[in-house]
Structure formats: structure tokens, C-alpha cells
Amino acid sequence: MCLRVEGICSVEHCTDPTRCVLSGDQRSCKCATGFYSAHCDQSAQIKVMCGRDYMSIRATEEFFLYHKVPLEALHLPNGSCHAQREVIRETPYYMFRISKEKYLACGGKPLRKNTTHLLYSLTVQSAPQVIGNIIRDPVIKMEFTCIYPYIRRVSLPFPVLPLSSETVMQVDEMDATIHMLLYADHAFTKSYTSAPTIELRDKVYVEVAVTEPADYFLLRVNDCWATQSPQPNSTKGLLHSLIHNGCVDDQTVSFLSLEEGQSGNNGESSTVRYSFDMFRFTTEPPELYLHCSVQLCELDDLKSCMPSCNAISKREALREYPSQGLLSYGPIRIETPDQPESSILTTVVLPVAGVWTLGFFITVLISVAKAGSRRIPKTEAH
């Protein structure tokens, strides 16, 4: 966390260097971070909180009133992002709380990164209090930075892992890590810990999500398909499409919400979940590989990130996205009965054979009866 507050103090009372700082010519001084008043002996109780999905900063109401800054004059670089008054343990504070989704919209500085961390920086400032054509009171400025761990991962072009699949996409010089996992339950709490073996028609639950940086992009799954080969573009073996152009291409596929038991949409958040009924190909082997191509969108690009599945135009279907990645998962094995194939043939062939045998027997009886009826009159004629 980095924090800077600009304020003024009285030079004659600036005796404690931990609370105030004199200028080089000793004609002016500034209160150290977190202090105010002419003696710089009052604490603003400034606190910055860096949550997983949000950033916040607060300071006591008295700090701003001392500097004659009303609540409505406080804002972020985007003047529409204002502070809120909140009372905590009987102490009133002025507070900003910004979700990562609104970071850029509120005027956050371009995201910075090094080899280990991502840096989000914002500035709280007060609007100048204009009297006629002059400004008498100082402007308050508070700069703060939230630093989040950043792990750079290297993956194969087409990673095929037994437990999960992961790929790294580069967007505007930023690396985004995306994973794909399979779950055994609709609550997405039990991911497979080994290469899964699933029975036919059982539900398969798939999650594709941006893991780093979290909640910075929207994610859209463009296509998902199953193959008999680990290679997604292999011409060997069979292929079955589940999702195409962001829309359902298999009648058993359903997009799921992050909230349990509700339907969801593709492209509305940084996580996409869907399910499908397990199947197998008509030829051996009894296993398959799942592949998904994905696209990243800016947070303010929700409309174009969500596919229009009711009426996809030819232009949309052929649209090329600059930020796409590919994930592969497998093998997924199909659980088959232990009975040999001959037993299946027996249950099918024997009844048919029985019908033909019975038909032949009836035909013989009818033929014999007809022959007998022709011979009897000849015997009586004698």
C-alpha cells in the first residue's frame, strides 16, 4: 500500500519530524501522512483496504472539516465517483469503496505490473472551493495504491492435463491466466482429482474461468467440442460440437449461473459454467478429450461479449477476436458395462431368430394341412 496526503501546517509548531516535514528553506511545512491541524497532532485515521474484489480508503470526517472540504466536494479522477459518509464505532468517516469492475471507469491509473505484483492506483481529491474568482482553501489530494500478487505462468500451446487445463493469454501487454475444470456436482464443489470416468447420460459440469488477474476481464466461451484425439485440430477420429459461436450446439448443454440452481449466460462475467450429458463416440476408444476456445473482453464491453444466439448474423459468426485462447482437457473416460459384446448380440438376435423359426414352423403346418386336405377326398372317392 502506498499513500500520500498533501496538507499544510504551521511552521512554528513543526517540531516533531514524525508528524510534520519542513521545506528546504524552512518557510513552509506539510503534515506527515495521517496527521493534520496546525500542530500536526491530530490523526486522520486513514485506512486503505485492498480486498479481493474491491479497494477502499477512508479518513475521519474531522480531517476534512478541518480543511473545509465538504463531503460532496470529494471525488476520484472521474468526478461522478463520490465519497460516502459512514459511522464506524461512533466515529464518522468519509469513505470510497471501488470494485475492480469500476476501477478504470472511476479514473484508475493504467494497471502497472512487475514480475511479482499488479498495482492498482487511484487518487482522491477535493474540488477547489471557489469564491468569486479566487480560491483560498487548499486542495486535498490522497493517492493510494493496492498491490496484488502476480504469478506469471508458462503453458503449452495446447495443454492437456488430467486434473485441469490452463492457458495464458496476452492482452495489451498483460498476461491473463485461464483454467478449465470438470466437476462431479452441480454446486461445483467436487472437482475431479484424477482422469474422470463418467457413465453415459451423467451430467458433466464444466467451469472455465480467468484466475489471474481476477475480475479484470469478461470471459466468453466461443466454441467447445469433443474429439477422440488429444489434439484439438486433429483430422483423425470423430468430433462432436457442444458450443459453437458462443451458443448451445448440443441439446443437453446448459449455461449455469455462479449462484447454485440458476441458469446463466455466456460472457457476462470472468467465469463461465455449463453442463452437458455424457456421451461416447461410435468407434473405439471409449474416451474423449474436451476443447474450448475462449475470448477476453473489457469489463465495459458486456454487450458485445455476450453472444446473440437467437439470430446470429453471418458477420457475427465469422467475426475474428484478437484475444483468444485454447484449452484442452482429457482424457475423459466413459464407464461401460462389464458384459461382453456377444451378450448384446444375443439379446437382439435370439428373439429375431425365434420369430423366424416360429414363422417357418407355422408355414410347414399350413402346408401339411393343405396337402392333407387334398389327399382325403381322393381316398373317399374309391
Encode pLDDT of 300-336 as tens digits. 788 888 898 875 443 343 344 446 788 999 889 887 6
Q: d(Cα 46, Cα 60) in Å, to the nearest integer?
A: 7
- Across the range 288-294, mean pLDDT stands at 92
* Number of residues that make up the chain: 382
* pLDDT at 166 (0 to 100): 76
186 vs 316: which has the higher pLDDT? 186
Task: Report yes or no on whether pTM surpasses 0.85.
Answer: no
* pLDDT at 159 (0 to 100): 38
> Residue 7 above 80 pLDDT?
no
pLDDT class for 298, splitting at 50, 70, 90? confident
How large is the C-alpha radius of gyration of the chain? 36
- Across the range 53-67, mean pLDDT stands at 87
For the segment 330-341, what is each residue's pLDDT rounded down to a tens digit?
A: 889 887 655 444
Mean pLDDT of the chain: 75
Under 8 Å between Cβ of 334 and 200 = yes
* SS3 state at 301: coil
| Element containing residue 88 per DSSP (H, E) | strand 84-88
Q: Which of 11-20, 76-85, 228-237 has the lowest mean pLDDT?
A: 11-20
* pLDDT at 300 (0 to 100): 78
* pLDDT at 216 (0 to 100): 78
* pLDDT at 321 (0 to 100): 47
Under 8 Å between Cβ of 123 and 77 = yes
- Across the range 58-64, mean pLDDT stands at 89
Identify the CA nearest to 99 among candidates 117, 120, 72: 120
* pLDDT at 146 (0 to 100): 85
Calculate the CA 278 to chain-centre distance. 23
> Residue 362 above 70 pLDDT?
no
51 vs 96: which has the higher pLDDT? 96
